[in-house]
Amino acid sequence: MDYSISESLQSRLDQTQAILESDIYPMEATYLKGEWQALDEMLYATRKKVKDAGLWAPHLHPEDGGTFTGLVDLALFAEVLGQSPLGHFCFGCQAPDAGNAELMVLHGTDEQKAEYLAPLAAGEKRSCFAMTEPHTAGSNPTLLDSTAVLEGDEWVINGRKWFTTSADGADFTVAMLITEPEANKHSRASMILVPLDTPGYKMIRNIPIMGHEGKGYFSHAEIEFKDCRVPATNILGKRGQGFALAQERLGPGRIQHCMRWMGIAKRSLEMMCSYVKTRKITATQTLADQQLMQAMIADSAAELAAARALVLETAWTVENKGFSAARENIALIKFYTANVLQRVVDRSLQAHGGLGMTDDTILSHFYREERAARIYDGPDEVHKISVAKKILRG
């Protein structure tokens, strides 16, 4: 297994880190204060700088408007960008747009690519992904009950979704809907593209997450479809292929999420180390001199290194041997890295004392927002069960 970094990749990663430090970290105070309009202007100015530097959309191949050079390379970009909650957006590879774009590259018709993929890839449109419903268990999406019924040449959509990340201000959603109610449970759903200015679509609210509501791209909405009609040609892939497509969306998406979390954990650990070195705890000693604090640093460094190696190994396996060779690891990295992330952020917050609880540093945001890492994209328990069953079968 070889994940050595070429000179040109290292140079692009260094350029990315430099933009993070010069442009993106300074925006975080505006983000944490919720000054959305000011933030928007800065975000779009940075996007232009990223495009001019030839670093835009590292998840998409050049022919689709991006700079993709391989899954391990993409994982390394996701780690650098993950250090800031604004990183992925500035580089045009934010979830859920990235996953939606990757799906359309593989399954979109020429018309869908022209209408939806091209502006999405260029950062001119935003999208969201509407699968989870408030009234059915998201852990078992075969229970979904929002429907799309074909009437003439239109799908008529009815249902309610929630936790639709970034729906606020998005241009369209990819919605997972039951189109084949009589089929077997894994073939009942299809993915359908729905422009969000279609009559019958309504955004009900942005859901507050631990006291913070978010806005625009940085939000999670509850939405409703009532007799919402879209052309029959808006189906992505074939009828009944919804879950198969969702699985496909998962592989690269999972690696990007996990490496983003590694970036957060890395920054949290660095913040912890900087803080404990300067925080005097007695007349002659700093927090860094305390062995209990040193143990927290060593545990974090070890867990982070192990989790990072596991994700890179998974990316390498997908890239070199295909998705099915990495299936078990893809479930494994999800719960393992999410828990490492949570422990490292928690230790860093603890080391910062009262300051860690404030919004004066990014840590409280990491703590609040990233708790969800153990829930979205399949909760810990679901992935543990799937890994354990596979091991037991083997």
Ligand X SMILES: Cc1cc2nc3c(=O)[nH]c(=O)nc-3n(C[C@H](O)[C@H](O)[C@H](O)COP(=O)(O)OP(=O)(O)OC[C@H]3O[C@@H](n4cnc5c(N)ncnc54)[C@H](O)[C@@H]3O)c2cc1C
Q: Give the footprint of ligand X on residues 7-36 (CB under 6 A).
A: none
Strand partners, 149: 156
Structure-token pair, residue 48:
């232009």
Structure-token pair, residue 11:
């140079």
Q: How far is the CB of 86 from ligand X (least distance, A)?
A: 17
Residue 379 makes contact with ligand X by CB under 6 A: yes
Residue 362 carries which DSSP code? Answer: S
Q: Give the footprint of ligand X on residues 266-285 (CB under 6 A).
A: none
Q: What are phi and psi of 193, to 5 degrees?
A: -85, 125
- Nearest CA to 368 out of 292, 279, 264, 250 is that of 264
- Distance (Å, whole) CA 276 – CA 351: 7
Binding mask 87-116 for ligand X (x = CB under 6 A): ---------x--------------------
Q: Answer yes or no: are the C-beta atoms of 235 and 191 closer than 8 Å.
A: yes
Residue 375 makes contact with ligand X by CB under 6 A: yes
The stretch among 97-105, 135-143, 225-233, 327-335 that binds ligand X (CB under 6 A) is 135-143
Residue 382 makes contact with ligand X by CB under 6 A: yes
- Nearest CA to 371 out of 333, 343, 352 is that of 343
Q: How far is the CB of 196 from ligand X (least distance, A)?
A: 14
Residue 163 makes contact with ligand X by CB under 6 A: yes
Q: Give the footprint of ligand X on residues 220-249 (CB under 6 A).
A: 220
The stretch among 3-11, 134-142, 319-327, 351-359 that binds ligand X (CB under 6 A) is 134-142
The stretch among 14-22, 163-171, 248-256, 294-302 that binds ligand X (CB under 6 A) is 163-171
Ramachandran class of 377: left when φ > 0, alpha when ψ lies in -120 to 50, beta otherwise? left
Q: Give the footprint of ligand X on residues 353-372 (CB under 6 A).
A: 372
- Distance (Å, whole) CA 172 – CA 37: 21
CB closer to ligand X, 67 vs 378: 378
Q: How far is the CB of 348 from ligand X (least distance, A)?
A: 21
Q: How far is the CB of 68 from ligand X (least distance, A)?
A: 22
Site size for ligand X, by CB under 6 A?
A: 21
Residue 139 makes contact with ligand X by CB under 6 A: yes
CB closer to ligand X, 160 vs 327: 160
Q: How far is the CB of 137 from ligand X (least distance, A)?
A: 3
CB closer to ligand X, 267 vs 383: 383
Q: How many CB atoms lie within 10 A of CB 112?
A: 17
- Please report the sign of the dihedral spanned by the C-alpha atoms of residue 204, residue 224, residue 113, residue 315: positive
CB closer to ligand X, 175 vs 312: 175
Residue 164 makes contact with ligand X by CB under 6 A: yes
Residue 206 makes contact with ligand X by CB under 6 A: no
Contact with ligand X (CB under 6 A) among 137, 150, 306, 325: 137
CB closer to ligand X, 73 vs 222: 222
- Distance (Å, whole) CA 327 – CA 188: 23
Q: What torsion, rounded to 10 degrees, do the Cα atoms 207, 209, 214, 216 define?
A: -50
Label the pairing between strands 172-178 and 127-130.
parallel
Side-chain half-sphere of 374: how many Cα atoms within 13 Å?
A: 12
Q: Residue of minimal CB distance from ligand X?
A: 138
Contact with ligand X (CB under 6 A) among 165, 179, 300, 361: 165
Q: Give the footprint of ligand X on residues 114-133 (CB under 6 A).
A: 129-132
C-alpha R_g of the chain: 21
Structure-token pair, residue 376:
């979205």
- Nearest CA to 119 out of 100, 142, 147, 134 is that of 100
- Distance (Å, whole) CA 68 – CA 126: 20
Residue 381 makes contact with ligand X by CB under 6 A: yes
Which residue ranges make up the site for ligand X (CB under 6 A)?
A: 96, 129-132, 137-139, 163-165, 220, 372, 375-379, 381-382, 385
